[in-house]
Amino acid sequence: MQSNKIKTSIFLFFISALFFQSLQAQNWDIDLLKQINPRYPVNNTWRTISSTAEPLAAGVPLGLIAYSLITDNHKLEMKSYEIAGSLFLAAAMTEGLKIIDNRPRPYETYPDIIHPDSYETGHSFPSAHTSLAFSTATSLMLTTKKWYIAVPAYAWATSVAYSRMYLGQHYPSDVIAGAVVGAGSAWLTHWLNRKYFSKKK
């Protein structure tokens, strides 16, 4: 029974990946990005928000692990490992999809109409910043079950996703796929943790 659920989840993930791949060919992707990305994306607010994705994503589980070890809180320690596992899975899946898809960044394909704040290396699909942000937000929602933690976490993750488009680094389909990968990784890790580890003393 559980094996069938895993197979179904994997199938749905690949169907979603194919769906987002098909979205890339649609005009709405570049048309929406043109509306979001200004000619001179020098707004330091969006640059700052974008730059928080990796350090906050890494800092949350590391900080919780440190605090749990200091206070000898085994329950919090397990939650910290769950968040870290979700981030690892999200990063691995994102990099795998980048290699498979090999999509150029929007300013490489449309140099006359998309204006990046900087020229980054790596492929466009999906957005790694968005994936890490939504993995963190979803993990916090699942492990804390507190709305006053989940709401700010998702507001931050959504801001990271928007910033990647504002700065001209990703298409809308890139950030949507990144959000799906990140949130999906958190849900899968949470399920695995409950099934195999939460009942152990």
DSSP output for 47-116: HHHHHTHHHHHHHHHHHHHHHHHHHT-HHHHHHHHHHHHHHHHHHHHHHHHHHHH-PPPHHHH-TTT---
pLDDT of residue 27: 82
Q: Which domain holds residue 78?
A: 69-201
111 in any annotated domain: yes
Amino acid (one-letter) located at 136: T
36: Cβ–Cβ under 8 A, 6 or more apart, which residues?
162, 165, 166, 172
pLDDT in tens, 187-199: 999 998 888 776 5
Is 98 a domain residue? yes
Q: Specify the number of domains making up the chain.
A: 1
Judge whether 16 lies within some domain: no
> How far out from the chain centre does Cα 73 lie?
28
Residue 57 within a domain: no
169 in any annotated domain:
yes
Q: Does residue 56 lie within any of the structural domains?
A: no
Low-confidence ranges of the chain (pLDDT < 50): 7, 201
* Structure confidence by residue, pLDDT tens digits, 18-42: 555 555 556 889 999 999 999 887 7
pLDDT at 6: 53
Asked, for residue 53, whether it belongs to a domain, the answer is no
Handedness of CA 47, 166, 86, 195 (dihedral sign): positive
Task: Provide the pLDDT for residue 62.
Answer: 95
CA dihedral 92, 27, 156, 61 (to 10 degrees): 0
SS3 label, residue 120? coil
pTM of the prediction?
0.85
Residue 107 lies in a domain: yes
41 secondary structure, DSSP code:
-
